[in-house]
A and B are shown apart, each in its own frame.
Chain A
Amino acid sequence: MRPKKLHPTGWLEHGAAARLVWPLAALALLLAFNFLFTEGFFRLEVLDGHLYGVLIDILNHGSRVMLLALGMTLVIATGGVDLSVGAVMAVAGAVAAVLVTKTNLPFGAVLAAALGVSVAAGMWNGLLVAGFRIQPIIATLILMVAGRGIAQLIADGQIITFSDPRMVFLGNGHLFGLPFTVTIVAASLAVTWALARRTAVGLFIECIGSNETASRYSGVNARLVKFLVYAFAGFCAGVAGLMAASNIKCADSNHVGLYLELDAILAVVVGGTALTGGRFYLAGSIVGALLIQTLTTTMYMRDVSSDVAPVPKALVIIAVCLLQSPVFRSQIVGLVRRGVWTLRPAGGKAS
Chain B
Amino acid sequence: MRIAIKRRHIPLAATALVLALVYAAAAMKFPGFFSLRVLVDFFKDNAFVGVAAIGMTFVILSGGIDLSVGAVVGFTSILIATLVRDHSVHPLGAVALALLFGSALGALMGCLIHFQKLPPFLVTLAGMFFARGLGFLVSGESIGIKHPFYSRLMDVGLPLPGSATVPLTALVFLAVFAAGVYLAHFTKFGRTVYAIGGNEPSALLMGLAVGRTKILIYTLNGFCASLAGVVFSLYAQAGNPTWGIGTELDAIAAVVIGGTLLSGGVGYVAGTLMGVLILGVIQTAIAFQGNLNTWWTKIAVGVLLLVFILLQNLVSRVSARRAGTIADCGLRIALREPQGPEHGRRAD
Say yes or no: A132-B310 contact (C-beta < 8 A), given A157-B293, A275-B119, A350-B204: yes
In whole angstroms, how far apart are the Cα atoms of A128 and B340 in the complex? 29
Decide: A325 and B116 in contact? CB cutoff 8 A: yes
- In chain B, residues 309-348, which have Cβ atoms closer than 8 Å to a Cβ of chain A? 309-310, 313, 331, 333-337, 340-341
Residues of A within 8 A of B207 (CB): 350
Query: Secondary structure at chain A's binding surface: helix, strand, loop or mixed?
Result: helix
CB within 8 Å for A142 and B140 given contacts A317-B125, A322-B116: no
Shortest beta-carbon distance from B115 to chain A in Å: 5
One of A150, A262, A275, A305 near B335 (C-beta < 8 A):
A275
Nearest CB on B from A151, distance (A):
8
Encoded as 1 (CB less than 8 Å from any A CB) or 0, chain B from 268 to 306 comes to 000000000000000000000000011111111111011
Chain A residues with CB below 8 A from B169, complex form: none
Interface residues of A in 261-281 (CB under 8 A from B): 262, 265-266, 269, 275-276
A146-B122 in contact (CB<8A): no
Binary CB contact string for chain B from 34 to 52 against chain A (1 if under 8 A, 0 otherwise): 0000000000000000000
B residues less than 8 Å from A144 (CB atoms): 249
Knowing A275-B119, A346-B116, the reply to whether A149 touches B136 (Cβ < 8 A) is: no
- Is the C-beta of A45 less than 8 angstroms from some C-beta in chain B? no
The yes or no answer to B82 lying at the interface (CB within 8 A) is no
Does A328 contact B302, Cβ atoms closer than 8 Å? no
A317 and B302 in contact (CB under 8 A), knowing A346-B116, A350-B205, A350-B341?
no
Cβ of B91 < 8 Å from any Cβ of A?
Answer: no
Q: Is A29 an interface residue (CB 8 A)?
A: no
Q: How far, in whole Å, are A143 and B263 apart by their CA atoms in the complex?
A: 18
List residues of chain A with CB within 8 A of the CB of B140: 305, 307
B125 / chain A contacts, CB cutoff of 8 Å? 262, 265-266, 317
B252 within 8 A of A: yes
Q: A144 vs B238: C-alpha distance in the bound complex, in angstroms?
A: 29
Chain B residues in 8 Å Cβ range of A145: 249, 253, 298, 301-302, 305
Q: Across the two chains, which residue of chain A brings its CB closest to B331?
A: A135
CA distance A135 to B334 in the complex (A): 9
Interface size on B, residues (CB 8 A): 59
Q: Decide yes or no whether A184 CB sits under 8 A from chain B.
A: no
B123-148 Cβ-contact flags toward A at 8 Å (1 or 0):
10111111011101100100000000
- Asked if B115 and A346 sit within 8 Å, CB to CB, the answer is yes
Bound state CA distance, A321 and B299, in angstroms?
A: 34
Q: Are A142 and B293 in contact (CB under 8 A)?
A: no
A307 to B263, CA, bound (A): 33
CB distance from B185 to the nearest CB of A (A): 25
Contact with A along B161-180 (1 / 0, CB 8 A): 00000000000000000000
Chain A neighbourhood of B293, CB < 8 A: 152-153, 156-157
Say whether A142 contacts B306, CB under 8 Å. Answer: yes
**Which residue of A has the minimal Cβ distance to B250?**
A145
Q: A305-B140, A350-B204 are in contact. Are A310 and B298 (CB under 8 A)?
A: no
By a CB distance below 8 angstroms, the chain A residues around B298 are 145-146, 148-150, 152
Please name all residues of chain A whose beta carbon is closer than 8 Å to the beta carbon of B297 when the two chains form the complex. 149
Question: Are B133 and A347 within 8 A (Cβ)?
Answer: no
Other-chain residue from B114, B121, B130, B294 in contact with A311 (beta carbon distance below 8 A): B130
Question: What's the tally of chain A residues with a CB closer than 8 Å to chain B?
Answer: 56
**A141 pairs with B305, CB closer than 8 A:** yes
Bound CA–CA A97/B30 (angstroms): 36
* B11 vs chain A, min Cβ distance (A): 14
User: Is the CB–CB distance between B211 and A348 below 8 Å?
Assistant: yes
Which residues does chain B contribute within 8 Å of A350, judged by CB atoms? 204-205, 207, 340-341
Query: Across the two chains, which residue of chain B brings its CB closest to A313?
Result: B129
Q: Is B27 an interface residue (CB 8 A)?
A: no
Q: Which residues does chain B contribute within 8 Å of A349, judged by CB atoms?
A: 204
B118 within 8 A of A: yes
Task: Find out whether the CB atom of B245 lies under 8 angstroms from the CB atom of A258.
Answer: yes
Interface presence of B188 (CB below 8 A): no
A108 within 8 A of B: no
Instruction: Answer yes or no: A327 CB below 8 A from chain B CBs.
Output: yes
Are the C-beta atoms of B211 and A314 separated by less than 8 Å? no
Residues in A with CB closer than 8 Å to B65 are 137
- The yes or no answer to A59 lying at the interface (CB within 8 A) is no
**A318-B112 contact given A145-B305, A327-B117, CB 8 Å threshold:** yes
Q: In the assembled complex, how far is the CB of residue A91 from the closest CB belonging to chain B, in whole angstroms? A: 12
Q: Does B241 contact A (CB under 8 A)?
A: yes
Residue B61 at the A interface, CB < 8 A?
no
CB-defined A-B contacts under 8 Å, sample of 30: A137-B121, A142-B302, A144-B249, A145-B298, A145-B301, A146-B306, A147-B302, A148-B295, A148-B298, A149-B295, A149-B301, A153-B299, A156-B293, A157-B294, A269-B122, A275-B121, A275-B122, A307-B132, A307-B136, A310-B133, A313-B126, A314-B126, A314-B127, A314-B128, A322-B118, A327-B116, A347-B114, A347-B117, A350-B205, A350-B340
Q: Which 9 A-B pairs have the closest CB atoms?
A: A146-B302, A149-B298, A152-B295, A311-B133, A310-B129, A307-B136, A310-B133, A314-B130, A314-B129
